[in-house]
Structure 1
Amino acid sequence: MLINRLIKIPHILLPFLLIFSPLVVQAKIVTSIKPVAFITEAIASGVIDTEVLLPDGASPHTYSLKPSDLLKLRSADLFIWVGEDMETFIPSVLQGIDSHKILELTENDQIENLLLTSHSHHEEISHDHHHGEFDNHIWLSPQIAEITARLIHDKLVKIYPDKSSIIDQNLENFLLELKQTEQVIAKKLNNVQNKGYFVFHDSYGYFETKFNLNNLGSFTINPSIQPGLKKIYEIQNELKNKNAVCIFREPQFSPAIVNKLVDGTHVKVGELDPLGIDIVISKNAYCKFLLKITQQFLNCLE
């Protein structure tokens, strides 16, 4: 495959490849996934553009890099990602890239100390889908988002010292907006904290812990395969026994599959998007992302 051949290209030839290849994208700051780009753009706005490797709708657990992705990554002034338990497609392509140009968030001590253990906050019905010992959906934690913003700030000030005043102001604005957004969300979700629900993807632990939401558990099914009768019966029993108000799917799930699971119950079906697919990258995007998640919870739980 072309991607494998590109990875094996001697490092001495990479500068020439980057200059002459028609695949080169002149992005300077690159993130692995969109929610990290939301935070990055808030700090980098007015200084440099932010671009994302993972296309909308793709999974960070299974995505395969294209040649243009590799060139974009290698030409970036800074690459920001969550960690190898989340973006499993990343580690093998970082060889030969200056470590000062890489920010791996879960390797930071401040963030590492805040990591939740996977499934520690509620039970899971099936263990077919395992992300590792810790919950790496860290972008759904406002507290970790604040640390992430400060880490990105410190990196950008070193890379673009002549733009430090803009970067400083961007950080100050982001932290203020984030605090205000947290207060708005807490007020909005206050009346649904006792409403129990299930999810299909165990992604929301940080958000649920922060805002005291009542996640009863998670079901693991392949969104592209119709579940068997045994699985349907098992899920329906759990929904009834736990008096769930709602079950949340994600955009990749067919409504037909979920409707079959809730047939014969009084459970409503909602949708959560943990990657902000419909949100445009901007300096205010992260708070818009949190507010959209909030509204998606309310749409089903209220």
Structure 2
Amino acid sequence: MSRMHLPLSVVTALMGGAALAEVPRVAVDIAPVHSLVARVMEGVGSPYLIVQSGASPHEYSLRPSEATALQEADVVFWVSPELTPWLGDAIETLATNASVSELLEADGTIELEFREGALFEAHEHGENEHGENGHEEHADDDEHAEHDAHEGHDHGGHDPHAWLSPQNAATWLNVIAGQLSAADPENAGAYFANAAAGQEEIDALIGEVTAVLEPVRGGQFIVFHDAYQYFENAFDFPASGAISISDASDPSPARISEIQHRISGEGITCVMSEPQFNRGIVAAVLDGMEADTAVLDPLGSDLEPGPTLYPQLIRNLASTLAECL
């Protein structure tokens, strides 16, 4: 017999009373984090996604429905103001009754410094777990000075693309379960059980992605903008450089020249674009170069939002790199 045809009392008993619990209204900034929250809430409720698929989180205008979701939220999860500088004011103004979690600040989160300059060196920066003192310092070199001279991008704080570390995702599942349980104690068991199951899935995902990347380990590639170092560090698979230091600004001619010299000088075979940004810039970089191009998507724009988006996003990054290299 289908559950939908069971008497309400039986359904309630089967769900341990969860059907009667008032599920918190939850708003989440970007699709990968929304996926982690949806995994923790699976079988209990569904979170609301603020930044819609295909949009850049760095610059975004709230639609009325998204503003309403923040206004009605009991719990809000977001990465950090470095990723969505516009969202901090919106949360402060609209989500006045919500419990707000900034995940980049969560205990146990691996944080990485922004890299400077167009070209990267492997293992340029070390990891730092939130709450510990000391970060590895940036190299004081000509690239740093040139970056300051022509990029005009403020790199205060840490690189916010921290969801691309599966280790961070596993940590955040527990943080999410804790925050939801504080707002909804009746469903705490379900939240923590889902988080534990999600962590097991991420452990398996790390093994799967490592196997996909192993045959092309050592291959060199250029990314569109410097968004992937958490993924690079997690799988010891470093990029050689980024066309743009930020997806909010076009690269200077000097930066494009640096990238082209590295492509030709080191025989780099793959240059990545992103679905949200101008592919003409990648075409300019590849002009006269013997390198392939492919699309890396750090947000999973072409994936259906929900609990399976996060693991599929990480798989897609690995498979795209493996195919291009």
Shift of residue 184 of structure 1? 0.6
Shift of residue 253 of structure 1? 3.6
Aligned to 2:33: 36
SS at structure 2 position matched to 1:65: coil
Alignment of 1:62-141 (within 5 A): 62-95=59-92, 97-98=95-96, 101-111=99-109, 114-119=110-115, 122=120, 127-141=151-165
Alignment of 1:139-158 (within 5 A): 139-158=163-182
Check 1:228–1:71 CA distance in 2 against 1; reply closer, same or farther (3 A cut).
closer
Letter in 2 for 1:122: F
Check 1:255–1:107 CA distance in 2 against 1; reply closer, same or farther (3 A cut).
closer
Distance (whole Å) between structure 1 residues aligned to residue 101 and residue 289 of structure 2: 46
Query: Does structure 2 retain, via aligned residues, the 8 Å contact 1:80–1:102?
Result: yes
Query: Does structure 2 retain, via aligned residues, the 8 Å contact 1:193–1:214?
Result: no
Match of 1:287 among 304, 308, 311: 311
**Residues 197-236 of structure 1: CA deviation (Å, up to 9, x unaligned):** 1112101001101111131111218989997876654432
Aligned to 1:4: none
Shift of residue 292 of structure 1? 1.2
**Residues 59-78 of structure 1: CA deviation (Å, up to 9, x unaligned):** 21111223332221010121
Distance (whole Å) between structure 2 residues aligned to residue 225 and residue 147 of structure 1: 32
Shift of residue 160 of structure 1? 2.0
SS at structure 2 position matched to 1:198: strand
Instruction: Determine whether 1:264 maps to 2:321.
Output: no
Query: Does structure 2 retain, via aligned residues, the 8 Å contact 1:250–1:272?
Result: yes
Check 1:239–1:159 CA distance in 2 against 1; reply closer, same or farther (3 A cut).
same
Count of residue pairs the alignment pairs up: 274
Shift of residue 254 of structure 1? 4.2
Q: Which sections of structure 2, spanning at least 5 residues, go unmatched?
A: 1-22, 122-142
Check 1:257–1:87 CA distance in 2 against 1; reply closer, same or farther (3 A cut).
closer
**Residues 34-60 of structure 1: CA deviation (Å, up to 9, x unaligned):** 111011111011111112111222221
Aligned to 1:249: 273
Aligned to 1:212: 236
Aligned to 1:48: 45
Shift of residue 264 of structure 1? 2.0
Distance (whole Å) between structure 1 residues aligned to residue 80 and residue 311 of structure 2: 23
Aligned to 1:10: none
SS at structure 1 position matched to 2:34: helix
Letter in 2 for 1:171: A
SS at structure 2 position matched to 1:95: helix
Aligned to 1:8: none
Aligned to 2:125: none
Query: Does structure 2 retain, via aligned residues, the 8 Å contact 1:27–1:72?
Result: no
Letter in 1 for 2:67: L
SS at structure 1 position matched to 2:239: strand
Q: Which sections of structure 1, spanning at least 5 residues, go unmatched?
A: 1-25
**Residues 130-187 of structure 1: CA deviation (Å, up to 9, x unaligned):** 5433111011011111111000001112222222232222112101111001001011
Distance (whole Å) between structure 2 residues aligned to residue 104 and residue 27 of structure 1: 18
SS at structure 2 position matched to 1:265: coil
Distance (whole Å) between structure 2 residues aligned to residue 206 and residue 282 of structure 1: 22
Shift of residue 107 of structure 1? 2.1
Stretch deviating more after TM superposition (124-133 or 100-109): 124-133
Query: Does structure 2 retain, via aligned residues, the 8 Å contact 1:28–1:78?
Result: yes
Aligned to 2:222: 198
SS at structure 2 position matched to 1:85: coil
RMSD over aligned CA atoms reads: 2.7
Check 1:160–1:278 CA distance in 2 against 1; reply closer, same or farther (3 A cut).
same
Alignment of 1:179-198 (within 5 A): 179-198=203-222
Query: Does structure 2 retain, via aligned residues, the 8 Å contact 1:82–1:104?
Result: yes
Check 1:59–1:223 CA distance in 2 against 1; reply closer, same or farther (3 A cut).
closer
Check 1:166–1:95 CA distance in 2 against 1; reply closer, same or farther (3 A cut).
same
Aligned to 1:58: 55
